[in-house]
Every structure is written in structure tokens, then in C-alpha cells.
A = this chain, B = another copy of it.
Amino acid sequence: MNAAPELSTQILRTPDLHPKGNGRHSPIAAVLLTSGEIDAIAGLLSLREGHSFALYAACDVLAVLAANPIFHALPEPRVARRALPLDQMTVLSDAAGVSLGLSVRAFAVPGKVPLFAEVDGDPGRSDDGATIGLEILDGCQSMFFIPGCAEMTDALRQRLRGARLVLFDGTLWQDDEMIAANLSSKTGARMGHMSISGPDGVMAAFTGLDVQRRVFIHLNNTNPALLACSPERAILQDQGWDVAFDGMELLT
């Protein structure tokens, strides 16, 4: 569904972002997947050139990888596949087990199974780990990374209350946007996404949550807020939100 450049895979880098070794060294030490959708997992195929890293994902998503032999291109032990348990703290380490100085707490959010894994048009709604959010902690600060979320639940609201930084699903501006653009017969809800605007939208859901910094990620290319000069961008900025961009500095 998303043709626009996006990054729904959380890539953790060692502190120095530049290649330090010879040849094809990569600074990517670990990858965390938040779903099994193609936009979350296909980028792995570009990390097949002998890089060693740890690959963290919920069991559902590891099962998706296991069911597709193409991901044998990322063989153990060079790429260490690790199940990310839900609702507990995991200390992140690279493929060799060296700590990265970061921890993560993964949690299920309302979402759906990957589109390519839907069975007979069943929308595949899932609230038990097919889609997850991440709280990432460095010992001093923490941030939330939630690129896909179908609904703001009370539990999620509690979790996010007072957060320093939240990156959140900004796929669509409004629920019928793909239909209005004649690109799809699906609503955002059908695709497993809240929309930014409207009474049930993300901005409304964050009202009163006292989140210090709020940044939209995973914007679809039908979302008018992608355009820096759009009225929609102005609206979200008025409400204290930003739209992420490459090279953005998030915590200082």
C-alpha cells in the first residue's frame, strides 16, 4: 500500500553512524521488526551482503520469515534471529551478544496480519502480537516507536501518558483517503491504521496524554500532510506534531 519512502523497521546503530570497517562494513548492529508486512520486512533483503546483526521480532513475525525461504539469504548465526517477548524488558545486543546499551519493551497494539497472509479476504485483525509497538530505553531517556496501530486502547493510552517522545502511525490523513483517490476500496481501518484527523483520529486520541514530543511516521503517499506546504501539515503542527524526515534529531 505504501509506495512512498518510509521506514517502519527500527534500525539501531552503533554510536558512530559511519562505516568503520573495510569493504562492506555496516554500522547496523540490530534490527527490530514491528510487523510482518512487506514494508517492514522487505528491507532485510538489502542487508544480505554478509552483514552480521541481531534480528529481533515477535514470534508471529519470525514465523512469517521462516515461512519464506527467500529470507535464508540472512542465515544464522550471522543474522541472529531472536524472539522479542511482549511486555517485558529485553536488553539489546548485537549478533555476537555484545550489549548495545539499549533496552526495549515490546507490546502488542491493535493491528492485523500482513496483507499477503490474509486468508480469503478475511481482514486478519489481530491484537495479540502480529503488530507491535516498541518502547526503547537507554537508561536515561525512552521513546516509543509505533508505526502501525488500528486503535487507541485504554491500555495504550496509559502506556503513552507523559512520554518524552512518541513516533506514531501517520499512514493516512483520513479513513477514506485511498477510496477518494480511487486507489483502493479499503478504508484505513480495514488496513489496520488509525487516521491522523477526525474525532477517532490520532491527534484527538493524544489529547490530554501529555506526550512531550509527537512525530508522525509511516505516511502513505496519499497523505496530504506529506507536503510541507499543505494545510494539513499546518494543522498537525498547530497541534504540536511533526512529520519525521531522514536525519531528524529526536532526543537531545
Residues of A bordering B, CB below 8 Å: 1, 3, 22-24, 38, 41-42, 45-46, 48-50, 64, 67-73, 115-117, 181-184
Shortest Cβ distance from A72 into B: residue: B116
Shortest Cβ distance from A21 into B: residue: B182
- Specify which chain B residues have a CB less than 8 angstroms from the CB of A23 in the assembled complex: 181-183
A117: contacting residue among B22, B50, B69, CB under 8 A: B69
Nearest CB in chain B: distance from A178 CB, A: 10
Q: Tell me, in angstroms, the Cα distance from A49 to B181 when the chains sit together.
A: 13
- Specify which chain B residues have a CB less than 8 angstroms from the CB of A50 in the assembled complex: 183-184
29 sample A-B contacts, Cβ–Cβ < 8 Å, listed by A number? A1-B49, A3-B24, A3-B46, A22-B182, A23-B181, A23-B182, A23-B183, A24-B183, A38-B45, A38-B48, A38-B70, A41-B70, A42-B42, A42-B45, A42-B70, A50-B183, A50-B184, A64-B70, A67-B69, A68-B68, A68-B69, A68-B70, A69-B116, A69-B117, A70-B70, A70-B116, A71-B116, A72-B117, A73-B115
Q: Tell me, in angstroms, the Cα distance from A115 to B184 when the chains sit together.
A: 36
Residue of A22, A69, A71 contacting most chain B CB atoms (<10 Å) = A69
Q: Tell me, in angstroms, the Cα distance from A71 to B70 when the chains sit together.
A: 10
Q: Tell me, in angstroms, the Cα distance from A24 to B73 when the chains sit together.
A: 31
Nearest CB in chain B: distance from A4 CB, A: 10
- Specify which chain B residues have a CB less than 8 angstroms from the CB of A38 in the assembled complex: 45, 48, 70, 73
